[in-house]
Amino acid sequence: MSDRLTVWYDGTCPLCLREIALMRRLDRGRRIDFVNVGDPQAACPIDRRPLLARFHAREAGRIVSGAAAFAAMWRAIPLLRPFGLAARNQVVLRWLEALYLRFLHVRPTLQRWVR
């Protein structure tokens, strides 16, 4: 099995584009495949609506979303790996997921500010 990670992101979201640009720069080992869900040619393992609504990644053949997807991405980037490893603790992951859910509520407002 490949040790590459696949990350699906919303290419129309200015916040997402900034985040992915930063992650691409930090991914010096090129271990992450970034897939823009808005690209009609993009291979999507599930319906595009859930992929656009929440951040998703495939790590070791398993699709994860939300905070777990961010943690998977962090584990693939040496600089951020300690944060991703900490998120393997279920208490830490639940806390991160709660923060992520709060972020989703303010995301539309933040997107308008960034545009």
Q: How much is the average pLDDT of 88-94?
A: 98
Q: Which residue has the higher pLDDT, 105 or 115?
A: 105
Torsion on CA atoms 90, 88, 100, 4, rounded to nearest 10: -150
**Distance, CA of 88 to CA of 84 (rounded, Å):** 7
Residue 23's contacts (CB-CB under 8 Å, 6 or more residues apart) are 7, 32, 34, 73, 77
**By C-alpha distance, which of 44, 56, 61, 82 is closest to 1?**
61
How high is the pLDDT of residue 2?
Answer: 60
Q: Which residue has the higher pLDDT, 107 or 42?
A: 42
How high is the pLDDT of residue 1?
Answer: 47
